[in-house]
Chain A
Amino acid sequence: MGYLSRQLSGRTDVAEDAGWTDPPPRKGFFTDTSICIGCKACEVACKEWNAIPLDGLGMTGNSYDNTGDLGASTWRHVAFVEQGAERVAQARESGQRLVDLGMPGVGAPEPAPVGTTAHGVPLPSFRWLMSSDVCKHCTHAGCLDVCPTGALFRSEFGTVVVQADVCNGCGYCVGACPFGVIERRSQDEVTSTRRDGHVPNVGVAQKCTLCYDRLGEDQTPACAQTCPTTSIRFGDHADMVAEAQERVSALHAQGITEARLYGANENDGVGGTGSVFLLLDEPEVYGLPPDPVVPTAHLPEMFRMAGTAALGLLGVAAASFLGGRR
């Protein structure tokens, strides 16, 4: 694989590709949703640290989730999913299927007798999943690739950060993110939390910076720092992936076959994510895409087709002038 093609898809070293010489190890998150208590401390810590405006006071009726999704003014978002027995059984099956498919990973664990928990007691007929979502800091980040101004850049920590003062608010990154993370802040969707009523960064794209300012000071990101259960773990990306793999095998060994990893595979459509998750059901249940692909992976193909079309137009236009004027 050449340097150029590595830029668009596949395994790669993100910071070096971005031209950093001798960068520190790539940083990332491992979010273990199996121990999240849905306290939303991460959401609040993020908003406090980054002085994000109020994102609306509506009640959604969707369980305990009233912030809805990630966006310009919600950079951490905790999802709440209530499930009955049927869906729990399905989740176990789909998890088992991943194992059966022979995916990379730990190999088939001894499955617990279907319908029981680790303590040998019957599966709960109901469960409440909570999961704290965040920007994935993709290896191949759609947002970063398409940004025409260079406002989005790859930091030395391998993370993806917006420079609010460079962004001109073209909004292109918003459509290019396969995870629906980044968003342009709009004045009428937010309310200032400041005394002077000012809302910062209106009209520009906003998302998690992986606390770039804190990483620079060798500090843990605010959300991970505050999480009381260690559901959010932060560290070197490689360690995070390793921890995630360990944890999923431990859960499998306990018979919790519904556990699975999300984003820990370098061969996936975005080259693996900087934020790795342990999920207990299919990704779409949490509002995550099941097979995200960085759109720019197909850019050569797109330009090829566009080139063909353009040549066609050239030909047609030329032809229109040939063959007589009358």
Chain B
Amino acid sequence: MSTSPFDSYRPPEGEGRRRRRGGERGGDRSAAGGAGSGGRRERAGDWLTGRARGRGEQPVVPEPEFASYYGQPVVKPVPWGHEIPAYLFLGGLAAGSGMLAAGAHATGLAVLRRNARLTSMTAVALSGAALVADLGRPERFLNMMRTVKLTSPMSVGTWIFSGFSGFASVATAAEVDRMLGGRDGGRGLPVVGSLLRWVEPVGSLGAFFFGPPLAAYTAVLLSDTATPVWFESRRGLPFVFVSSAAMASGGMQLVLTPAAETVPAQRLAVLGAVGDYVAMERVERHLHGLGIDDVLHEGAAGQKLRAAKALTVGGGVLSLLARRSRLAAVACGLALAAGSALTRFAVVEAGQESARDPRHTVATQQARLEERRARGVVDDSITTAG
């Protein structure tokens, strides 16, 4: 057992698995409701399944020691589907690939440059599509471009994303031009071909410098919410996400690019994997201290995170063989990319689950309130005596 100040909010061992009977006389009905089956929000039909709040048969969730309103969520999960974790993954992949491409451009690794550029461009296009698809009103996606709002990570991110896409497009166009033989006296791209030759370095450089913010801002996007797990991970999540981006993009080039040109990709992948693992562990440890890491270990999110870790470690180990065996390289790359994707899915889903669990919101808030009161700070609580 850890000895965090939040231990009191965790159920006692063993005995805590006893569930309170509904409608117990003298008991507190709202707390009884609070002992709900995972605090899932089911407005109608909940009683039908026999899983009525606080009275269900599945003794899975231990009884928490806090009051709630029939186990209803206090905050709402963001209404995001799978498109958003996909967007996070693809954005990271695009960012890292863009940086790899730029590095390859600078260091003359032509195949790596080409492959990374195409990867980056594809990823950025797909991620944009994923983002738009998840909007409630996709036809209005351009409304984001109407303003620049520094308090909105999504607004900031949109501009970062746009910037990155712009540079990546230039670089990719230049690459296409090259592929069509524009540099070699071939036909190249019409009209813009010669211009592209001039601005190609700008595209590369732009993508290189816009990559890191693109990879990192998504962590802020998540943390800047009332979702307990994301909000509480605000100091660690950016490191997870940039590492994840590095590992995915490095891994992807291990798959696509012949060994001759994959040294930087291999390095990026390995460093990313290590960073990802370490940063995620740190985040988990922090959340554990708050008593809200359960969502990272249980349910679908837990499965994904476990798989992600296995893939990350496995991929990391395989990467040592990557330059010796093509097969190993492909396996390693795929493992790392999949690990990255699964991490994103796990983090997003765990967050949504955390929002649905009133204990996450209430217990963390109560703890920090008590902690402040213990320090003698009593003037900043939303509840006042007068």
Contact between B379 and A267, CB atoms less than 8 A apart: yes
Contact between B386 and A81, CB atoms less than 8 A apart: no
Stretch of A38-46, A210-218, A301-309 with 4 or more beta carbons under 8 angstroms from chain B? A301-309
A150 at the interface (CB under 8 A from B): yes
Least CB distance, A111 to chain B, in whole angstroms: 12
Given the complex of chains A and B, what is the CA–CA distance between A184 and B135 in angstroms?
A: 10
Given the complex of chains A and B, what is the CA–CA distance between A295 and B230 in angstroms?
A: 10
Please indicate the chain A residues that have their CB under 8 angstroms from the CB of B379 in the complex.
103-104, 265, 267
Please indicate the chain A residues that have their CB under 8 angstroms from the CB of B355 in the complex.
175
A112 at the interface (CB under 8 A from B): no
Contact between B30 and A309, CB atoms less than 8 A apart: no
Given the complex of chains A and B, what is the CA–CA distance between A265 and B136 in angstroms?
A: 35
B202 at the interface (CB under 8 A from A): no
B45 at the interface (CB under 8 A from A): yes
What total of A-B pairs shows CB separation below 8 Å? 379
Contacts A61-B47, A168-B135 given: A313-B79 contact, CB under 8 Å? no
Given the complex of chains A and B, what is the CA–CA distance between A326 and B263 in angstroms?
A: 6
Contact between A313 and B68, CB atoms less than 8 A apart: no
In the complex, what residue of chain B is closest to A142 when comparing beta carbons? B226
Q: List A254-284 residues whose CB lies under 8 Å from chain B.
A: 260-265, 267-270, 273, 279, 281-284
A296 at the interface (CB under 8 A from B): yes
Stretch of A19-27, A224-232, A286-294 with 4 or more beta carbons under 8 angstroms from chain B? A286-294
Please indicate the chain B residues that have their CB under 8 angstroms from the CB of A99 in the complex.
385-386
Most chain B CB neighbours (cut-off 10 Å) among A82, A166, A291, A324: A291
Given the complex of chains A and B, what is the CA–CA distance between A177 and B216 in angstroms?
A: 23
Contact between B136 and A202, CB atoms less than 8 A apart: yes
Least CB distance, B291 to chain A, in whole angstroms: 15
Given the complex of chains A and B, what is the CA–CA distance between A273 and B239 in angstroms?
A: 34
Given the complex of chains A and B, what is the CA–CA distance between A228 and B200 in angstroms?
A: 71
Contacts A146-B154, A150-B146 given: A313-B43 contact, CB under 8 Å? no
A316 partner, pick from B135, B268, B358, beta carbons under 8 A: B268
Contact between B107 and A81, CB atoms less than 8 A apart: no
Contact between B69 and A287, CB atoms less than 8 A apart: yes
Contacts A313-B216, A320-B264 given: A269-B386 contact, CB under 8 Å? no
Contacts A60-B43, A290-B369, A305-B235 given: A81-B358 contact, CB under 8 Å? no
Most chain A CB neighbours (cut-off 10 Å) among B143, B223, B224: B224
B106 at the interface (CB under 8 A from A): yes
Stretch of A51-59, A113-121, A192-200 with 4 or more beta carbons under 8 angstroms from chain B? A51-59
1/0 contact string of B148-165 vs chain A (CB within 8 Å): 010111110010000000
Stretch of B120-128, B240-248, B335-343 with 4 or more beta carbons under 8 angstroms from chain A? B240-248
Contact between A313 and B224, CB atoms less than 8 A apart: no
A151 at the interface (CB under 8 A from B): yes
Please indicate the chain A residues that have their CB under 8 angstroms from the CB of B100 in the complex.
317, 320
Contact between A150 and B149, CB atoms less than 8 A apart: yes
In the complex, what residue of chain A is closest to B102 when comparing beta carbons? A317
Least CB distance, A30 to chain B, in whole angstroms: 13
Given the complex of chains A and B, what is the CA–CA distance between A71 and B235 in angstroms?
A: 30
Contact between B45 and A58, CB atoms less than 8 A apart: yes
Please indicate the chain A residues that have their CB under 8 angstroms from the CB of B33 in the complex.
62
Contacts A104-B379, A146-B151, A301-B234 given: A249-B386 contact, CB under 8 Å? yes
1/0 contact string of B345-386 vs chain A (CB within 8 Å): 000000000010010011001101100010000111111111
Q: List B70-94 residues whose CB lies under 8 Å from chain A.
A: 70, 72-80
A147 partner, pick from B45, B141, B152, B267, beta carbons under 8 A: B152
A169 at the interface (CB under 8 A from B): yes
Contacts A142-B226, A320-B264 given: A79-B69 contact, CB under 8 Å? yes
B26 at the interface (CB under 8 A from A): yes
A264 partner, pick from B104, B151, B237, B384, beta carbons under 8 A: B384
B12 at the interface (CB under 8 A from A): no
Q: List A134-191 residues whose CB lies under 8 Å from chain B.
A: 142, 145-151, 166-172, 174-186
Least CB distance, A58 to chain B, in whole angstroms: 2
Please indicate the chain A residues that have their CB under 8 angstroms from the CB of B204 in the complex.
none
Contacts A146-B224, A175-B227 given: A289-B211 contact, CB under 8 Å? no
Please indicate the chain B residues that have their CB under 8 angstroms from the CB of A279 in the complex.
383
8 tightest A-B CB contacts, nearest first: A58-B44, A169-B136, A105-B386, A203-B136, A287-B69, A310-B212, A175-B78, A309-B238
* Contact sample, A vs B, 25 pairs, CB 8 Å cutoff: A59-B47, A61-B47, A62-B33, A62-B53, A84-B25, A106-B386, A166-B146, A168-B140, A170-B154, A174-B78, A175-B75, A175-B230, A287-B68, A287-B69, A287-B72, A289-B75, A290-B383, A291-B382, A292-B226, A301-B234, A306-B238, A309-B212, A320-B100, A320-B103, A325-B264
Interface residues of B (CB under 8 A from A): 25-31, 33, 41, 43-47, 52-53, 66-70, 72-80, 96, 99-100, 103-104, 106-107, 109, 134-138, 140-141, 143-144, 146-147, 149, 151-155, 158, 208-209, 211-213, 215-217, 219-221, 223-227, 230-231, 234-239, 241-243, 245-246, 250, 263-265, 267-268, 271-272, 275, 355, 358, 361-362, 365-366, 368-369, 373, 378-386
Given A169-B135, A269-B382, 17 more pairs with CB closer than 8 A: A60-B43, A68-B43, A83-B28, A83-B29, A86-B26, A87-B28, A101-B373, A101-B378, A146-B154, A149-B146, A169-B137, A203-B137, A205-B136, A252-B385, A281-B67, A285-B30, A302-B224
